[in-house]
């Protein structure tokens, strides 16, 4: 397996292009199932999760062609055409690899009245159930059977609109039901829906496809179902988590970096946190400029929340930064019960962190020291890269297939800003 070698201590300076958002691209690719027309998605990032989703969709009968940009790092354009669904199954092998595979469930039932999707099972972040996806589809009139580890859904006479209340905010749950409701008969109201920019991006694309949706960007989405949807051409929104991650990279290395394409309005909570920490962030014509102004950064407490609160997907990166703060910070993870797997690895680099349930206390240390560490999930792995950039000496991060799921050309982008980072290829 590939590993990443980092020689810490370099100050990052330069520009970084922010890729299209993985978490917007995945549901958008599934939205292609809803139409016999052609869905063109621009700004597709180069990521393992995108390849996994493409593989799953092809298995279902979606014809996909991908056009590369002018350079290896340029975004791709994908064309998705679903004349007919030839298979209704999302197998365990793919769903286990990528939980977001569950996003084919709503579109499949809506388009052809039938789906068989593996239950995702446990994952590194805890139990992560999909009960709200299932309950919502039942409210839309689907019959659901759980058998042999699979969700068997059927709605031979089509779905019908309903009022669906989410007791907890769920991003993919909202997306699944939003897509299904577009082809249901009558009106659907999704109450306490997720407001994440990725949900908004999906809703905007669905509107281009002919869907009628009001309340986009709010906690109540109202959908008037249509008989059919048409094709569309849509550019995927910039990845706010990738932008936030590179902002932390600038901060932790005393650097100054312009994040080209970053959308300021999507990372307000991260910007306000960085400003409290002692990092200056300003809007530019092309994105966002991030600069660590002083020698010291302050410890600042964090509580993760659904959007527009501080994202759970930025928690591990912020923790890496807090390891080197002047003072302590308390990090309260409220979204996932088991999202501190990066803690023991950060401690191997010299961090001082204690965990009590879903609360971590980080006491800043003067310096971190390079060591071999292991990535355990996507955001945990990038937090180790950030810590390695600031640590004295060499850090080797293994199991970086997690990193490749969510960060497009990460080592090239960091190296172009002066980081000493390279991929150590596994022996063939
Ligand atoms: C999405 C993101 C992920 C991010 C997460 C929270 C994608 C592909 N992934 O994941 O990167 O970390 O949002 O911002 O967009 N829950 C239930 N029942 C359900 C569904 C969820 O209890 O049926 C709970 C979960 O256990 C969790 C919370 O709701 O505690 C939020 O999870 P959810 O928003 O659904 O996460 P994902 O959509 O899987």
How does pLDDT run across 192-222, given as a tens digit for each residue?
999 999 999 999 999 999 999 999 999 999 9
Q: How many CA atoms lie within 13 A of 28 on its CB side?
A: 36
The yes-or-no verdict on residue 329 having pLDDT over 80 is: yes
pLDDT tens digits, 362-384: 999 999 999 999 988 899 999 99
Joined tokens for residue 135: 């309950």
pLDDT confidence of residue 124: 62
Query: How remote is the CA of residue 388 from the centroid of ligand 1, in Å?
Result: 28
CB 322 less than 6 A from any atom of ligand 1: no
Q: How far apart are CA 416 and CA 103, in angstroms?
A: 35
The yes-or-no verdict on residue 126 having pLDDT over 80 is: no
State the DSSP code for 184.
S
**Cβ(190)–Cβ(225) below 8 Å:** no
Tell the residue nearest (CA) to atom 31 of ligand 1. Answer: 170
Helical packing angle, 197-208 and 171-182, nearest 10°: 10
pLDDT confidence of residue 70: 85
State the DSSP code for 265.
G
Q: How far apart are CA 214 and CA 34, in angstroms?
A: 19
pLDDT confidence of residue 33: 98
pLDDT band at residue 317 using 50, 70 and 90 as cut-offs? very high
Mean of pLDDT values over 307-326 = 98
Q: What is the pTM of this model?
A: 0.97
Atom of ligand 1 nearest to the CA of 102: 39
pLDDT confidence of residue 376: 86
The yes-or-no verdict on residue 358 having pLDDT over 60 is: yes
Better-scored residue on pLDDT, 390 or 400: 390
SS3 state at 321: helix
Mean of pLDDT values over 95-124 = 90
pLDDT band at residue 337 using 50, 70 and 90 as cut-offs? confident
The yes-or-no verdict on residue 125 having pLDDT over 80 is: no
Mean of pLDDT values over 276-295 = 94
Where is 415: in which H helix or E strand? helix 410-416
The yes-or-no verdict on residue 298 having pLDDT over 70 is: yes
Residue 181 — φ and ψ, nearest 5°?
-65, -25
SS3 state at 70: coil
CB 105 less than 6 A from any atom of ligand 1: no
pLDDT band at residue 122 using 50, 70 and 90 as cut-offs? low
pLDDT band at residue 71 using 50, 70 and 90 as cut-offs? confident
Among all residues, which ones are annotated catalytic?
A: 123
pLDDT band at residue 359 using 50, 70 and 90 as cut-offs? very high
Q: How far apart are CA 241 and CA 100, in angstroms?
A: 17
pLDDT band at residue 72 using 50, 70 and 90 as cut-offs? confident
The yes-or-no verdict on residue 427 having pLDDT over 80 is: no
Mean of pLDDT values over 137-143 = 98
Mean of pLDDT values over 45-66 = 96
**Cβ(408)–Cβ(238) below 8 Å:** no
Q: Tally DSSP H helices, then E strands, for the chain.
A: 14, 24
**Cβ(177)–Cβ(164) below 8 Å:** yes
Q: How far apart are CA 427 and CA 217, in angstroms?
A: 47
Whole-number percent of the chain with pLDDT over 70: 98
pLDDT confidence of residue 375: 85
* Cα-trace Rg, the chain: 21
Average pLDDT, the chain: 95
Other Cβ atoms within 10 Å of 42 Cβ, number: 15
Joined tokens for residue 299: 């410890």
Residue 303 — φ and ψ, nearest 5°?
-125, 125
Tell the residue nearest (CA) to atom 25 of ligand 1. Answer: 128
Query: How remote is the CA of residue 177 from the centroid of ligand 1, in Å?
Result: 14
pLDDT band at residue 123 using 50, 70 and 90 as cut-offs? low
Tell the residue nearest (CA) to atom 34 of ligand 1. Answer: 170
Ligand 1 pocket test: pick from 99, 168, 236, 318 the residue with the most ligand atoms within 8 Å of its Cβ: 168
């Amino acid at each position: 397996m590939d590993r990443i070698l980092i020689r810490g201590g370099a100050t990052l300076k330069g520009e970084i292009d922010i890729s299209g958002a993985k978490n917007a691209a995945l549901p958008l690719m599934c939205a292609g199932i809803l139409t016999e027309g052609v869905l063109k998605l621009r700004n597709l990032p180069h990521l393992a999760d995108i390849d996994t989703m493409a593989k799953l969709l092809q298995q279902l009968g979606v014809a996909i062609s991908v056009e590369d940009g002018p350079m290896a790092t340029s975004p791709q354009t994908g064309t998705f055409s679903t004349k007919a669904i030839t298979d209704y199954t999302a197998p365990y092998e793919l769903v286990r690899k990528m939980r977001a595979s569950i996003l084919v469930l709503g579109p499949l039932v809506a388009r052809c009245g039938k789906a068989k999707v593996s239950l995702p099972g446990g994952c590194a972040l805890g139990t992560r159930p999909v009960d709200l996806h299932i309950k919502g589809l039942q409210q839309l009139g689907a019959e659901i059977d759980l058998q042999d580890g699979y969700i068997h859904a059927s709605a031979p006479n089509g779905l019908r609109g309903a009022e669906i209340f989410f007791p907890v905010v769920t991003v993919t749950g909202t997306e699944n039901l939003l897509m299904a409701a577009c082809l249901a008969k009558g009106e659907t109201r999704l109450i306490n829906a997720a407001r994440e920019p990725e949900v908004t991006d999906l809703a905007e694309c669905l509107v281009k496809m002919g869907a009628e949706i009001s309340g986009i960007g709010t906690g109540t989405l109202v959908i008037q179902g249509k008989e059919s949807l048409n094709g569309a051409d849509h550019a995927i929104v910039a990845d706010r988590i990738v932008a936030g991650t590179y902002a932390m990279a600038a901060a932790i290395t005393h650097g100054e970096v312009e994040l080209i394409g970053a959308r300021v309005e999507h990372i307000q909570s991260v910007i306000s946190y960085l400003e409290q920490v002692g990092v200056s962030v300003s809007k530019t014509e092309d994105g966002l400029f991030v600069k660590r102004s002083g020698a010291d950064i302050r410890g600042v407490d964090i509580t993760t929340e659904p959007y527009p609160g501080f994202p759970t997907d930025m928690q591990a990166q912020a923790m890496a930064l807090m390891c080197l703060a002047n003072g302590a910070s308390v990090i309260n993870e409220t979204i996932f019960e088991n999202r501190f797997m990066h803690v023991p690895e950060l401690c191997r680099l010299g961090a001082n962190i204690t965990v009590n349930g879903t609360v971590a206390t980080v006491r800043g240390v003067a310096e971190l020291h390079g060591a071999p560490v292991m990535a355990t999930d996507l955001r945990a792995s990038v937090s180790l890269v950030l810590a390695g950039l600031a640590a004295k000496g060499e850090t080797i991060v293994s199991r970086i297939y997690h990193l490749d799921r969510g960060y497009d050309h990460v080592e090239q982008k960091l190296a172009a800003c002066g980081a000493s980072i390279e991929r150590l290829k596994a022996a063939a």
